[in-house]
Amino acid sequence: MISNDLNIFLILLSAMMVNNILLIRFIALCSFFGISNSIKTSTGMGIAVIFVMVMATAVSWPVYHFILVPLDLIYLRTAAFILTIATFVQLEEMFIRKMLPSLYRAMGIYLPLIVVNCAVLAAAFLCIDYSLGFAKSIVYTIGVGSGYFIAIIMFAAIREVVDRAPVPVLFKGHPISFITASLMSLAFLGFKGLFGL
């Protein structure tokens, strides 16, 4: 279990490997199956997710601790977070388009998709649920994002090979992808118990 007294390295490792957001926690699977056709798009998406996720936690953590808690409005958490994150991603998109055009070309089309990516919201919620401090929340989010990055790239690589393999008609496409994911998840389960996490 993750808590605030865990050291930074263990939080990172736990978020990235032991509790991998895609394969163990099943969050953000829509994008996982939707856009993992090629390694190239997966890389773009992975980078965009890490970036947005860290920024979103950096915004939502203060919103929760400095606005919602003092005003006793914790029950507005869901609405407040999703609106903050959606607005923020929009601003971020405008900023990147203006200031960093090359980065925008690399991850531009993925940014709007991320608003509805559950992983971003989930990371923000989990930081609150585990009652992590600000710095540790950021580290945790980096871990979650990297976990997403690693898993989606590995999955895209496997899918490129599977697409050329002779798969029974009934399993072609999505069913075989799920079975692939199942085997990958089995492999990630092997990290369980590492350093007592």
Partner 1 sequence: MSQTRFRSLLKELTKGFIRENPILVIMLGLCATLACSTSATDAFGMGLAFSFVMLGSNIVVAIIRRVVPSQIRIPVFITVISTFVTIVDYTLKAYFPALSQSLGVYVPLIVVNCIVMARAEAYSSKNTVMASLMDGIGMGIGFTLIITLIGTIREVIGNGTMFGHQVMPARYQPFMIFILPPGAFLVIGFLMALHRKFMITFYESHR
DSSP code, position 124: H
| Closest residue by Cα to residue 28 from 117, 151, 159, 125 | 117
Helix (H/G/I), strand (E/B), else coil: 23? coil
d(CA 103, CA 141): 21
The two tokens of residue 93 are 């998109």
Least Å distance, CB 197 to partner 1, is: 15
The site string for partner 1 over 9-48 (x = CB under 8 A, - otherwise) reads --------------xxxxxxxx--x---------------
d(CA 162, CA 177): 8
Q: Which residues are CB-contacts of 96 (< 8 A; sequence separation ≥ 6)?
A: 103, 104, 108, 111
Choice between 12 and 85, CB closer to partner 1:
85
d(CA 197, CA 183): 21
Which region, judged by CB under 8 A, interacts with partner 1, from 9-17, 110-118, 135-143, 154-162?
Answer: 110-118
Q: Are residues 11 and 139 in contact, defined by beta-carbon separation less than 8 angstroms?
A: yes
Choice between 50 and 151, CB closer to partner 1:
151
Determine the length of the chain: 197
Is residue 194 near partner 1 by the rule CB under 8 A?
no
Q: What is the DSSP string of 63-94?
A: IIIIIITTTT-GGGHHHHHHHHHHHHHHHHHH
The site string for partner 1 over 130-149 (x = CB under 8 A, - otherwise) reads --------------------
Is residue 176 near partner 1 by the rule CB under 8 A?
yes
Is residue 126 near partner 1 by the rule CB under 8 A?
yes
Is residue 106 near partner 1 by the rule CB under 8 A?
no
Which region, judged by CB under 8 A, interacts with partner 1, from 9-17, 46-54, 57-65, 167-175?
Answer: 167-175
Which region, judged by CB under 8 A, interacts with partner 1, from 8-16, 45-53, 55-63, 185-193?
Answer: 185-193
Interface residue with partner 1 among 35, 86, 157, 197 (CB under 8 A) is 86
Chain residues binding partner 1 by CB under 8 A are 23-30, 33, 75-79, 82-83, 86, 116-118, 121-122, 125-126, 129, 170-171, 174-179, 181-183, 185-186, 188-189
